[in-house]
């Protein structure tokens, strides 16, 4: 499922292909993706306008129009964007398409209709409407993180994935952040020590930043990342222990039962990525 790094990759893709191109026509192929506007309203809001610039908050990408309105994209599990020439074969599973005056097109694709397209007067208004927390990469300070986590008592994995707590972290990157912090996913937020809070904060920035730098391409991640082995047959990239899985908030959570033991703390030294005991 696209999380913050994937959304940032999509934002950069839009930024490189679709800025300042005037929209000549709008095709809505599947109205189920329209989150808060009718087909007619969507077409009226977009036709004749251009995308001035793009923004991102958490897993949401906003295309800000010259009308000051924002087209907001959420990619669900299988959503993506595809820029192409009108003479090319359209991409499969296109749910909505913008046709530009210069003959190029932008399709919003989704195999499973779980993606959504919204209209908003501003990104700020959209964030407030959705009650999203601060952006996990660009909108977070240590003081704010400590304040936010002090209000929580649930499982730490569920807390990290709660978009009202922080916007952008999903199942996959939450596992990596917890692994690198030496914290079991079933620990409760109120059991996390001050030192562990600092470790979580640093690893949120490190993991998401690394994923953004690598274009969210897991094959380019270092070998010491859990993501490179995450799965039923995976082994801890540090000690070789077979990974175990628990379900947190209905999601599969993989962890090292030694370095993330529920009753003790082991963390990863950032410079060497070796475990400290």
Predicted confidence (pLDDT) per residue in 4-45, tens digit: 999 999 999 999 999 999 999 999 999 999 999 999 999 999
pLDDT at position 22: 97
Residue listed under structure tokens 């192409």: 84
Q: Which of 95, 130, 165 is the last residue of a domain?
A: 130
Residue-range definition of the domain harbouring residue 43: 4-130
pLDDT of 109 > 90? The answer is yes
- Shared domain for 61 and 184, answered yes or no, is no
User: Can you give the pLDDT at residue 140?
Assistant: 92
pLDDT in tens, 189-244: 999 999 999 999 999 999 999 999 999 998 899 999 999 999 999 999 999 999 99
149 and 240 inside one domain: yes
Same domain (yes/no): 251, 155: yes
The answer to whether residue 135 is domain-embedded is no
94 and 12 in one domain? Answer: yes
pLDDT at 174: 98
Provide the pLDDT confidence category of residue 271 given band limits of 50, 70 and 90: very low
152 and 89 in a common domain: no
Question: Is residue 88 one of the residues assigned to a domain?
Answer: yes
54 belongs to a structural domain: yes
Q: What are phi and psi of 261, to 5 degrees?
A: -60, 140
Taking the C-alpha atoms of residue 40 and residue 26, their distance in angstroms, rounded to an integer, is 10
Residues 231, 213, 227: CA angle, nearest 5 degrees: 10
pLDDT attached to residue 6: 96
Residues 252, 202 within the same domain: yes
Same domain membership, residue 155 and residue 272? yes
Is pLDDT at 84 greater than 90 in this prediction? yes
Of 103, 130, 157, the last residue of a domain is 130
Residues 164 and 208 in one domain: yes
Token pair 């030694």 is found at 258
Q: Is 8:56 a contact under the CB 8 Å cutoff?
A: yes
Same domain flag for 153 and 95 = no
> Would the pLDDT of 264 be above 70?
no
Looking at residue 94, its pLDDT comes to 95
Q: Judge whether 259 lies within some domain.
A: yes
The number of beta carbons lying within 10 Å of the beta carbon of residue 83 is 18
The answer to whether position 136 is within a domain reads no
Q: Is residue 49 part of a domain?
A: yes
Q: Are residues 182 and 238 in the same domain?
A: yes
Q: What is the mean pLDDT of residues 76-99?
A: 94
Which tokens is 33 given? 């993706």
For β-strands 116-120 and 70-74, DSSP reports them as: antiparallel
- The CATH number that applies at residue 221 is 1.10.8.50
pTM over 0.85: yes
Last residue in a domain, options 101, 130, 159: 130
Quick one: 11 and 98 in the same domain?
Answer: yes
Is a pLDDT exceeding 50 seen at residue 125? Answer: yes
Say whether both 31 and 124 belong to one domain: yes
The count of structural domains within the chain is 2
Two tokens at 210?
């690394």
Facing residues of 244 across strands?
A: 255
Domain CATH code at residue 14: 3.20.190.10
In a domain, 137, yes or no: no
Domain annotation covers residue 38 = yes
pLDDT at 273 over 80: no
Mean pLDDT of the chain: 92
């Amino acid at each position: 499922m696209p999380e913050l790094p994937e959304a940032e990759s999509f934002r950069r893709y839009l930024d490189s292909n679709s800025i300042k191109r005037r929209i000549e026509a709008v095709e809505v192929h599947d109205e189920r993706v329209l989150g808060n506007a009718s087909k007619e309203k969507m077409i009226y809001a977009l036709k004749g306008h251009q995308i001035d610039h793009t923004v991102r908050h958490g897993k949401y990408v906003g295309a800000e129009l010259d009308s000051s309105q924002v087209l907001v994209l959420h990619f669900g599990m299988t959503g993506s964007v595809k820029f192409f020439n009108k003479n090319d074969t359209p991409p499969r599973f296109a749910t909505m398409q913008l046709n530009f005056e210069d003959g190029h097109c932008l399709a919003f694709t989704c195999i499973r209709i779980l993606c959504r397209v919204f209209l908003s007067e501003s990104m700020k208004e959209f964030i407030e409407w959705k009650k999203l927390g601060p952006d996990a990469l660009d909108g977070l300070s240590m003081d704010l993180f400590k304040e936010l986590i002090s209000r929580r008592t649930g499982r730490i994995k569920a807390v990290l994935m709660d978009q009202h707590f922080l916007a952008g972290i999903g199942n996959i990157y939450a596992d990596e952040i917890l692994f690198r912090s030496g914290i079991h996913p079933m620990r409760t937020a109120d059991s996390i020590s001050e030192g562990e809070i600092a470790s979580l904060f640093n690893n949120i920035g490190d993991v998401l930043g690394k994923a953004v730098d690598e274009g969210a391409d897991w094959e380019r991640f270092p070998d010491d990342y859990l993501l490179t082995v995450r799965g039923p047959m995976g082994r801890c990239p540090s000690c070789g222990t077979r990974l175990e899985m628990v379900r947190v908030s209905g999601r599969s959570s993989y962890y090292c039962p030694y370095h993330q033991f529920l009753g003790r703390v082991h963390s990863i030294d950032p410079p060497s990525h070796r475990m400290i005991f």
